[in-house]
Structures are given as structure tokens and as C-alpha cells.
Amino acid sequence: MIKETAKKYFSDLKKVIDELDLNILEKITEIIHDAYKNDKQIFIMGNGGSAATASHFACDLGKGTLLNNGQNNTKRFRVISLTDNVATMTAWGNDTDYSHIFSDQLKNLINSRDVVIGISASGNSPNVINAINLAKKHNAKTIGFAGFEGGELAKISDVAIVAKINRYDIAEDVHLVLGHLVTRYFKNTINN
């Protein structure tokens, strides 16, 4: 029955959320807020379900933080999801290598003190790792949203929050929740 599956799923999801280190979340919001205050760009990326989360998070930061549907003079986040231009991603994947679809996009755009957010349930997606490494070479701040044990993403990011479970579905759920939480925080913070 679905009820038993649901109870187990929700129990596992709640356990992971309850174990998140909120001090790390505080550091993540400080980095994003610094980018906002200083007109720096924020780039977000991931693969598969994490690509959808990257798009969703970029949309929410760019639009969801505004009051009155953006009809006020609120300063806006300069945020881009590197997963949204399919033509660019497939061109880089075809002409170079799939592991460079994000780093090659960043080469055109990245500046010092920008923020690059990598989302990877395993923490080991080569294209996300390559982009984080490129960002670090350009003196950008890096944030990792990882799952499992954090993988390479947690090791190389300036700050990483890890949904500690060896399941893609729940790790991806937690990352989406974190995107919504960060957006809600900034909607409340920047409009007061």
C-alpha cells in the first residue's frame, strides 16, 4: 500500500532535514547576500533533477524575492541558471565534452566575487566539479548542495550543505526545500 511507502519516505526525508547543519545554511545566505549587495552574479547548475532544481532556484531568487510581482523598485538578484540554454549546453557537450558544459559557459561570464552554486546529489558530477574549480580560479565564491556523503563537491566548495542520505530522490527533495527556504529568507529580508 502507498501509505506504508509514504510513511517511510516522509520519515527518511524528515530525518535528513532535521540533521541539516543550520550554521552552514547561515554561511550560504551570507555569501548570497554579499553577492546581492555588491551586484555580483549568481550562477546555479546541476544535472537531471538537480538541473530542474537549479532552474527553479534561479527563478525563485530572480522573481520570487520581489514584492508586488516586481512592480516596486526593489533591487534584484543577478541570477542565471546554467542549465537553461539547451543549445549552449549541447554545443559545448558536442564540441568539447559533457564534463565542460558548465565551465565553458562560465568562462564567458564569471567575474571575481560572483557566486557559483553547484547542485549534485552524489557530489561527484564532473561537469559541476569542473565549473566549481573554474569559479575558484576566478576568485568567485562557491556553494555546494550535495547528498550522500558530500563527495568532491563538498570538499572543494567554500561552503557545502549535505543532505546525508544515499538516495537521490530524498537528497533532491532536500535541495529543492533549501532553495525555497533561502528564497523565503531573502524575500523577507530584502523587502523590510
3-state class (DSSP) for residue 89: helix
According to the model, what pLDDT value does residue 1 have? 86
Q: Report the CATH number that the domain containing residue 49 is assigned in CATH.
A: 3.40.50.10490
CA angle 49, 43, 187 (to 5 degrees): 85
According to the model, what pLDDT value does residue 42 have? 98
Give yes or no for residue 68 having a pLDDT over 80: no
Most confidently predicted of 37-41, 62-66, 93-97: 37-41
Range of the domain at 149: 2-190
Reading across the β-sheet that carries 141-147, which strands appear in turn?
Answer: 78-81, 41-46, 115-120, 141-147, 159-163
Give yes or no for residue 95 having a pLDDT over 90: yes
The mean of the pLDDT values for the chain is: 94
Q: Are 109 and 81 in contact (CB under 8 A)?
A: no
According to the model, what pLDDT value does residue 189 have? 87
According to the model, what pLDDT value does residue 74 have? 76
According to the model, what pLDDT value does residue 71 have? 64
According to the model, what pLDDT value does residue 69 have? 64
According to the model, what pLDDT value does residue 10 have? 96
137-192: pLDDT as tens digits: 999 999 999 999 999 999 999 999 999 999 999 999 999 999 999 999 998 888 76
According to the model, what pLDDT value does residue 104 have? 96
Task: Tell me how many domains the chain contains.
Answer: 1
According to the model, what pLDDT value does residue 171 have? 97
3-state class (DSSP) for residue 166: coil
pTM of the model: 0.95
Place 70 in a pLDDT band, splitting at 50, 70 and 90. low
Place 64 in a pLDDT band, splitting at 50, 70 and 90. confident
Type and span of the H or E element at 8: helix 2-18
Give yes or no for residue 65 having a pLDDT over 90: no
